[in-house]
Amino acid sequence: MTQKIGFVGLGAMGLPMAANLLAAGYHLTVYNRTASKAEPLIAKGAHRAERAGDVAHPGGIVVSMLADDASVKALVTGEDALAERIAPDGIHVSMSTVSPATTRELAAYHATRGSVMVAAPVFGRPIQAQAKQLRVCVSGPAGAKAKVRPIIEAMGQEVFDFGDNPGAANVVKLAGNFMIAAALEAMGEAVAMMRKSGVDPAAALEMLTKTIFAAPVYQGYGPVIAHGVFTPAGFRLPLGLKDIDLVLQTAGAANAPMPTASLLRDRFISAIAKGRADLDWSAIALGAADDAGLKESR
């Protein structure tokens, strides 16, 4: 019998992730606030739910890929009452980038309703989601993680388990996004220096990202920043600001100063204030160009 799964959130990441579940043979019931975004999946055999809660059934599995903490809280505890609808023993796989505090709170709420929550945030952009190349961090009860692992593997290339603490995977996800944003800022500053020194930043970054910075983040974003091409946006600036705010909240709760994160927050706020909200989050690199008196190269 084909396993039935609910899926909530069909944005730039959620849509290709859900499509990969369909391709893997799962029976999907999907919901998105903008109903038209579900059409490509409906054409491939998915069923559309009229409300988010309607994707759930007792003892079932629901995957959510939503924009922020408030959206996940509303799904779990609000009118859609996901935590209750999948009880008893249903599993909610939360793949959104949210705070570990929110995950811990919602995991506890699920438990009081007789259901389980597994945190499974992902690393990757829409193109990696489409190619099933996401890297997924998971945390939560061992039995539930084992049950949903084949589902997660149908959407990504690697799964990394960070234990039973529900919020652990979210801490790792936020740490990773902070490190990416810091790399964007570093490349932006380096590019500004090179441009003002008469050096071709594209040629320089090509060499650097093939040698001492031969890592996906530098290789993927280096040409974007060197050439100043920040559209189409794979991850918009306001989402980057949201994640850095979560980093600072988490760091504050842990009494762990993160001065670089504070700088990055200011960069995001400045970029949005300058009308760049629709650009990719790598456009925070333009802040260094602004400070150096350079005009945008795009």
267 and 158 in a common domain: no
| CATH number of residue 10's parent domain | 3.40.50.720
Mean pLDDT, rounded, of the chain: 96
Residues with catalytic roles: 173
Chain position carrying tokens 């579900």: 38
Radius of gyration (Cα) for the chain, nearest Å? 20
Residue-wise pLDDT tens digits, 55-104: 999 999 999 999 999 999 999 999 999 999 999 999 999 999 999 999 99
The reply to whether 297 falls in a domain is no
Residue-wise pLDDT tens digits, 155-207: 999 999 999 999 999 999 999 999 999 999 999 999 999 999 999 999 999 99
Residue-wise pLDDT tens digits, 206-252: 999 999 999 999 999 999 999 999 999 999 999 999 999 999 999 99
226 and 81 in a common domain: no
142 and 229 in a common domain: no
131 and 33 in a common domain: yes
Range of the domain at 141: 4-163
Mark which of 163, 183, 201 sits at the end of a domain. 163
Token pair for residue 240?
């980057």
**Residues with Cβ < 8 Å from 145, sequence gap 6 or more?**
118, 138, 139, 161
183 and 153 in a common domain: no
DSSP string of 12-66, one letter each residue: TTHHHHHHHHHHTT-EEEEE-SSGGGGHHHHTTT-EE-SSGGGG--TT-EEEE--
